[in-house]
Structure 1
Amino acid sequence: MRYTERLQQRIERTGSRLCVGMDPRPGGDGVEAVPDFLKRLVDETWEYAAAFKPNIAYFEAMGLRGIEILGELMGAMPKEVPVILDAKRSDIGETQKYYAQGYFEHWKVDAVTLNPFLGYDSIEPFLSWEGKGVYLLAVTSNPGSADFQQQILADGRSVFELVTALGARSVAESNATDVGYVVGLTHAAEVLAKMPDAPLLVPGLGAQGGDLAALAAAKRTAPDVINVSRGIAYAGDERSFAQRAAEWAEKIAAAYA
């Protein structure tokens, strides 16, 4: 089964487009408290999750133990829920081949985020993996996305349309890996009309203040997922992870109704 089909089935089964972000920040209890924290996060939210998105930076910041924790986490994830590894890797093709092998073969994640600005040959090693997906950074949620991604070229296209052209090339070549895009909700209203109807990973809801209205109004058919990280794991209130996830899932579903 292709990645997009599996993700679509998960969305239909749960009625949820919520992607639960996993950005662990060790507190006073130290790194060794993180595995239990992540287990509770998964156990309490998986029924509401269309996908999980661990961000590799937070695990790398914990040193070698953090990488071990990520490996242990990947081995214990519910099989029903696709896992998107937020790695944003970008390197020459030979190096990318080993990133792809590490993520897809060893950690067995379902999809990974990539920075495509080294060009097509830098994403090519990820495109031959059956049942897997990649999300290319197109228009990110940070203010700096205006510095490059949204600049207008001489032919009238935006720079991010060069990114979507890479995805179109992969489709034309009938590659095994599905290609989607990262589009920040904070910029969705300005860019959605130029985005193909391919899967979107949408950060920017919750702590970053993105508005769902533009995304819902676009009437897209692709299995887009909307990420919430801090709003579930670190909301700073008395509610459980499950209660927070349920609220965000309902809020997203209501916008699409």
Structure 2
Amino acid sequence: MTFRKRLARAIEKNRSLLCIGLDPDLERFPEGVARDPEGIVAFNRAIIEATADLVCAYKPNLAFYLAHGAAGIAALAELRHLVPPDIPIILDAKLGDIASTAAAYAQAVFETLGFDAVTVHPYLGSEALEPFLAARERGVFVLIRTSNPGATELQDVPVGASGEPLFLWLADRVREWNERCGNLGLVVGATYPVDLALVRQRCPELPILAPGVGAQGGDLEEAVRAGLAEGTGPLIVAVSRSVLYASSGRDFAEAARATAQRLRDAIELVRSTLQRQETAGS
């Protein structure tokens, strides 16, 4: 089954567009959880067990595991066994390199670790992404407009005859690449809802992964409206710290569930409102 189909099933089953980022920061671990790789596994297990019926995907960030060497990578590999098989996992690694290196990355992510999707950057061009594009049953999310405040420094640079910003030019390229391989999506920060809406207009059918709600300050309702209003492709709203660290006490898993449920329900409220408006206007 392709990543898109598995994602669609998870969205329907859990009535959710919420993706929880599994980014274990040992300094923020709650009371009673060991601050080591074994603690990472225990923490992830508790969060997953508390939220698996509320999400459409999970998104571990490679850096939080790589920081702990081989034991950290082992903890990352354990995720495939902790997450229910019907929920896709997106590895947030922002990969991109020359072809032979990219092939090794693709093998590591999709075959060795068994993840369903990965984030990549397009700076080396489509040639360097070929090993990811060739894995057509997996998902590949290309960085277009990132959520950080400094994103505009490069991503707003005018390009081409029209002088449009680079992130929109890239959105067009990804749409073209997807016509050939069919497994691409976009990363667009929820902190830039106007730009998110522009990208959605350009790429109505592509999945969009939207980080930045919560600790980074992205407005949930604005982001959901921007990512869904003019598209048929799924929107994946990624939230990490505000869910993971909702409590620093022994009730951390219960607090994470409560926060995730609130976010899931808020997203669904916006989505159902948009659907009613579309039905009324048709």
TM-score range for the pair, normalised by the shorter chain length: over 0.9
Q: How does 1:34-113 map to 2 (within 5 A)?
A: 34-113=40-119
Q: Which residue of 1 aligns with 2:247?
A: 236
**Partner secondary structure for residue 174 of structure 2:** helix
Indicate yes or no: 2:216 matched with 1:201.
Answer: no
What's the CA shift for 1:232?
A: 0.8
What's the CA shift for 1:190?
A: 3.0
Quote the RMSD (CA, aligned, Å). 1.7
What's the CA shift for 1:79?
A: 0.5
Structure 1 residues 194 and 71, CA, compared in 2 at 3 Å: closer, same or farther?
closer
Indicate yes or no: 2:187 matched with 1:182.
Answer: yes
**Partner secondary structure for residue 208 of structure 1:** coil
What is the letter of the counterpart of residue 245 of structure 1?
Answer: A
Q: Equivalents in 2 of 1:23, 1:143: separation in Å?
A: 20
Q: Equivalents in 1 of 2:92, 2:199: separation in Å?
A: 24
Structure 2: gaps of 5 or more residues? 273-282
Q: Equivalents in 2 of 1:169, 1:97: separation in Å?
A: 22
What is the letter of the counterpart of residue 154 of structure 2?
Answer: F
Q: Which residue of 1 aligns with 2:223?
A: 215
What's the CA shift for 1:231?
A: 0.9
Number of residue pairs matched?
255
Indicate yes or no: 2:238 matched with 1:227.
Answer: yes
Does the 8 Å contact 2:246/2:256 carry over to 1? no
**Partner secondary structure for residue 26 of structure 2:** coil
What is the letter of the counterpart of residue 97 of structure 1?
Answer: A
Q: Which residue of 1 aligns with 2:10?
A: 10
Deviations 1:15-50 (A, max 9, x none): 110001100012483213221111101111111010
Q: Which residue of 2 aligns with 1:161?
A: 168
Structure 1 residues 62 and 215, CA, compared in 2 at 3 Å: closer, same or farther?
same
**Partner secondary structure for residue 125 of structure 1:** helix
Deviates more, 1:204-213 or 1:24-33: 24-33
Structure 1 residues 250 and 191, CA, compared in 2 at 3 Å: closer, same or farther?
closer
More helix by share: 2
Q: Which of residues 258, 267, 277 in structure 2 aligns to 1:252? A: 267
Deviations 1:216-255 (A, max 9, x none): 3342221111011001111236553222211111121122
**Partner secondary structure for residue 202 of structure 1:** strand
Does the 8 Å contact 1:216/1:256 carry over to 2? yes
Q: Equivalents in 2 of 1:172, 1:251: separation in Å?
A: 33
Give percent identity, aligned residues only. Answer: 35
**Partner secondary structure for residue 121 of structure 1:** helix
Does the 8 Å contact 1:75/1:107 carry over to 2? no
Does the 8 Å contact 1:136/1:163 carry over to 2? no
What's the CA shift for 1:191?
A: 4.0
Structure 1: gaps of 5 or more residues? none
Deviations 1:88-128 (A, max 9, x none): 01211110001001111111111000011111111111011
With normalisation by structure 2, the TM-score equals: 0.85
